[in-house]
Amino acid sequence: MKAAVIGAGMWGKNIVRTLNSMDSLDCVAELDAGLRSGLAQTYPGLTIHDTIDPVMESDVPAVCIAVPAPWHYEIAKKALERGKDVFVEKPMTLSVDDAQDLVRIARERERILMVGHLLLYQPAVQWIKEAISSGMIGELKSIHQRRLDLGRARDVENVLWSLGVHDVAVALFLIGKKPESIEIQGQRVLQPTIEDDVHVEMTFPGGVKNYLHCSWLWPVKDRGMMVIGSEGMLVYNELEQNVTLHRKTIGSDLKNVDNGSEVVYEGSGQPLTLELTHFLECCAQRKTPMSGGESGVEVIKVLQTASERFNS
């Protein structure tokens, strides 16, 4: 099965490379002449368009959209209405209404709609989900996430919409419920209306908490997650792709319990390849993706609610 790519910039070029390596790349649409020239040199013989119209009018059955976030809704809507299956990079849209509209169109046209929540396809995250479900660390109490770096600041979406989308998707996936309440604090340093550093707290049914800190104004790269249970803790180092089990807790007598720790998972399985393989399989088999449109809507609801807290 073949797919077209719309947008071959900073992340889109990775989708192009991955689909090409899978022999699943049909064509590319890219507005930037310099990027088109580079693509032509890297992929001789590849069909490259300077607008999206030839893609929309072609018989290619699926498209992968990796343009700037403000264009996601318009292009994904057009593709769905043309009868194409759609993979759209995160964030799915910049509003809940637009996200729900894409889900509606996909349902009415019986098209596959999948969102690029890449971390869900990281094998370590899948392993953590199974570990929580198996009771390895007892009852889940809280999840603590960090996504920090001297990153690429945006002038439309804030750092939560730009960097925290993956983490919100992972939190909803691991906890398996919708948050009952969302609180957020943040700081605007570089621009008067865009948050560069945010702390988000989500409370879920049963009292489970999720804490997320993300910033693109940070001196060192720090990406990871801690999962706290009643009988142990898991530490996920995203940069090294390993998970450490700490058999530690505090007992009912308030005394520390420390039965040691060990690395219980190591290894990465190229999540982008796994993600795009899943998308094409869902298109071929007409099955709902793990990060389908409905789950994408739930992520946008969290992001929008958090953003509204800034303006209230």
Please tell me the predicted confidence (pLDDT) of residue 312. 61
The yes-or-no verdict on residue 140 having pLDDT over 80 is: yes
Report the range of poorest mean pLDDT among 193-197, 227-231, 298-302, 306-310.
306-310
With pLDDT > 70 as the criterion, what percentage of the chain qualifies? 99
Q: What fold is seen in the domain 3-116+272-290?
A: Rossmann fold (3.40.50)
Q: Which CATH class is domain 123-268?
A: alpha beta
Domain ranges of the chain: 3-116+272-290, 123-268
pLDDT digits (tens, 9 = 90+) for 55-83: 999 999 999 999 999 999 999 999 999 99
Please tell me the predicted confidence (pLDDT) of residue 205. 96
- The CB density around residue 255, as the number of other CB atoms within 10 Å, is 7
- The highest-confidence range among 61-65, 162-166, 190-194, by mean pLDDT, is 61-65
- Spatial neighbors of 309 by CB under 8 A, at least 6 apart, are 182, 183, 184
**For residues 150 and 148, what is the distance between their CA atoms, to the nearest angstrom?**
7
CA dist 255 to 142, 231, 233, 270, Å?
A: 20, 13, 16, 42
User: Computed from CA positions of residues 237, 242, 247, 251, in that sequence, does the dihedral angle turn out positive or negative?
Assistant: positive
The yes-or-no verdict on residue 234 having pLDDT over 70 is: yes
Do the beta carbons of residue 300 and residue 310 sit within 8 Å?
Answer: no
